[in-house]
Structure 1
Amino acid sequence: MKTARSYNWWSYIVDMSMERKLFLVFLLIITLPLSFISVISFKSYSASIQANTIAYSEKLIDQMMDSIDDYIEDMKRISSMPAYVNEIKQNLIRSNRYYEQKQSMEGRAGTAAVAPGDMDLLLSIQRGIEENISFINNIKRGTNSVYIFDSYGNGYYSAKDGGVRLDLKQSYTYWSGQTQDSGGEATLLGTQAYTSNLQSTRYAFTVVRKILDGLWKPVGLIAVEANFSNLETQVAELDKVTHGKSVIVDQSGKVIYDSDQKLLTADISRSALFQSAAGSSGSFYDTVSGKDRLNIYSSSSKTNWKVIISIPVDELTHGVKLTRNATIGATLIIIVLALIISIILSFALTKPLTRMIQLMKRVQGGDLDVTFRVKRRDEIGLLGHQFNRMLARIRQLIQDIYRMEEQKKEAELQALQSQINPHFIYNTLESIRMTAEINDDTDAADMISILGKLLRYSTSDVSGWTTMKQELLYVRNYVELLGCRYPGRFELMIDVPDALGDYSMIKLVFQPIIENAAYHGLDDTKPQMHLSITCEHTEQKLLFHIRDDGCGMDQITLDKLNQRLRHDAPPKKSINGGIGMINVHQRIRLHYGPAYGIQVFSTPGEGTDVILSLPLREAERR
């Protein structure tokens, strides 16, 4: 009982008008989702904001880390420049050689005064290296200082903004120790505090690399130092967007940078914040000073540095209540407006469909002279356009059927004209033949006998079918009759496979072409005309070549003939009442389709080739 009742409701909905269905769809699609959203928005909005914040913050962190990675990669490329600047390596080799000799002399003599020539050499080395350092130092924006040391720890530099380390000896000792096993690869060192020559404490991270000569022996060390201006800008932008605080640490837990700059160079590896940020990326919640925080972190695969940003939860849920109230009010307003709009749209959409249904009913009643007025280019407009094209095509097809039927009847009537009183003609010809034999005129008797055969074949069942063997026999009889009239002037050669002897075909397709060649292509300058019928086949057609070596046709006549064949021009009745080449072409197309027919090729003075195409398997077609 319940199933039947459900079926009745479903049937009622299915049978509803399109306008009511659209209204119902709009009502369900708009009202239910909006009502559902207004009910659960307060519970889900907070979680949604936090999830979006995590995804967005991770994306911002990844972008910042990519920027920092690119910046460090540029520093590494800068540190590799001495390997390509031969002047720097040569000056370092000279500096090493000088201090090696100096240590040797000091070892022998205890102390040694610096000679004027040695001072000039040192100044030349220093000037050469510092000029190259000044060039390198200006390549990358954001680098603070570039230092180059020889193997004995003697430093050369050209600092930006006057910020130069005062503890170069200690820095060299630390840097050379960190690159002891690095070969010629660049080494990234974390944030260090140092005192500059301006008596201020500064912080920087450094890329150091050994400088090797052509034999891969170390000749010095380069240190590319960056200040925090680049990190300060990017971290400040990140904190501004997320309303949080950020800290950047290396893989050992040493702080590279933090938003408040209170933890610089500090080790936080034992803190709960660092230990909770396990893995390459993720998020977690914690509580600090009684306030909940959302912590989001992500790591760089190149430097293994990790960015941790802490966002107060209160900042995330600040607008939830306001949004909830605004959502409820907006939902009610939207539902009312949606119902009004759905009524208007359902009427606007169904009105042209109703108009088209009315036109279809008129077409069903036989009125094909209707037109759907297309006003728009949407789907309904396209449907109306196709409806108009369909009606135009139907009208055209009806006209084509009428025209084809008229042409078929006309062709059959022209062929039937030769059937006027056939028995009277047969009897008359037979009486004449008997009279000729009685008078011993055998030639006339033979001609009359052949003519009787031709007449009997052409006038018996004209609209019916015949076989290839009978059709070719008819052609032979016709050429034999021509030979009686014009002795020795015509020679016929037929090369058609015997397997096609039972091939079913329409009558009178070869003889009119042979007749056309004999009467219009005969060349009086040649003693004999050769006529031939050969056959070839493709995958779908039989192609018969009816050739003659007569006078041929000029190009203008040939073009006119082929044009009439292509455009399916109506056949014209010849003077003697025979069936012409155009008639044969049209009969073939009417029986077999537009893919078959006649095509003519001719060369003046050489002859004509008529290609007649028929279906390969006519038996299957029938």
Structure 2
Amino acid sequence: MQMKKALFRSFSKTINFFYLILSILFIVFTASVFYIAATNQLTETTIDTMQNIVTQKNEFISYVYRDIFEQFYTFIQQNSVTKLANGQALTPGDYIQLTEEMDELYGSNSYLVDSIYINLHDFQLVYNEERGIRNNIDIELDDFSSYEHNEGYFWVGNHTSPLLDSERDVQAIGHLVSDFYGNEVGVVLIYLNTFFIENVLDDFSLEEGYMLLMSGQSYYTTEDSNVYDGLNQQIHAQYLEGVGTQEVQEISTESLGSYYVQQSPVNFNDWALALVTPKPTIFNSESTLSWVIIIFSLFIALLAFLLLRMIKRYISNPIEELSEKMLGTETFDEKIEKPETVPDELAVLYESFNKLIERNTELFTEVTLSQEERMELEVALLHSQISPHFLYNTLSAIKGLSDMEMNEEASQMTTQLSDFFRTSLSRGREIIQLEEELQNVESYLTIMETRYGDFFDYTINIPKKWYPYYIVKLSLQPLIENAIYHGVMNDRKKGLISLTCKEEDGDIVFSVWDNGKGIKEEKLSKIREELSAPYLTDSETETGVGLRSVHIRIKNRYGEKYGLVIDSEYGEYTQILLRIPKIKGE
């Protein structure tokens, strides 16, 4: 029972998702560490083995080539060969000496020498495995002049022997012979069979590997499969370009994958020896390490599964129960019941959800009341613009002007009344250009000036550059109306109303100022408080329909930064500032 309580109180550390992620990461990390360590060790072992094999093979092959070259050099210096080179006729004794020297060279190196070929001043001899001599061999001397040679000596890599009827790969050591005048008069060749070299290259302990012996003309490989032709050609091309080094290189192929290549130049003849083996990997059928990693990973996965079952019992199930209860609520004010036994963290969630329900209920009530008030303000504002009292008084004034035969003034007042109602309706548009709003203000002021001309004067100082900018309809006229009825009409002196605007912090700020009676501090504070309230339920307000409607519509349209700011000094003035953003165009 104590263990159950402890598990419930470790909610934040044992939540299912994070535990599963951590388990997977642990398995992957541990397996990766084992894999990387094992791979690195296997790679190092493979590289060391390759380097040792190549070094040993190189030393042995270099020794074999050096030994046969020294014997070949000695053979070239023999008196019989020298006479042939100088164009002298051989005596029977010279001829016998030549055959004995050829027989000695061939017999002491029969494991390696395939044939001996002499072609000097059109005198041709071939000494082969039958220990016989043949003449009239069809070999062109120009074929050997193209080989790179050192003091006339050159090496020829694997090629088909021209001296045999059957095809057989051979290598060759040659010497271009010159007379006293430096003219090439022939060539002496020793053809080496590849059986011995093949056995040397094929005898090493590295599985799935093979060796290449590369010369400038060709390469010889112990792996006869055509599958490796592309890889071998790529290695040989690197050798020809001088890219190959004595360090192990990795070569990747699309069909065969990655291979390690260890090259080493054969010291004696500038050929190169290369050992090729697949890149080692521990994940193969014969790798013990791969099975160790797999078994270890399965053990960790099983342990993680058992622990996950425990976490599900003590943590996941309570969370699911909470989720089902939340989803099961049918009304916005429905709370959920907290179980008696629950982790501390889940208890907080239960309590937070219920508090959220309470807050939602409060917000729903506030939003409902706010929307109702906004609708009432919109209707009341429109109603105030088409007030029967205003319309009746204006029409009475027009009739009075007509009775006094002031037809021009009556016509002008009628036009202003028409313009006033047309702009107020604006075809249902809420956003109009400032020019249209000012026409509405002008129409209204003209009508009021005609009716109460003795009570106030007005000035409008708004540059025409602001006319294309947009404003919420009926934003300025209610402010002018407020200045007339609650400002200058309540004062004995003749009033003055001014409408101006300026740019401030990238916004347009309008000012409606009057020199009326002003507002007492207590009443001004209440007006400001009502303007900032989200909604009003009391019909007896200080702001009235006009001001609050303008303020709410501006804030709803542009945000909390915008709207009305009222300032007043009792007995001196009242100023209302209206801030809107600069918006030009659609």
Same fold (TM over 0.5): no
TM-score bucket (shorter structure):
0.3 to 0.5
TM-score by length of 1: 0.40
TM-score by length of 2: 0.42
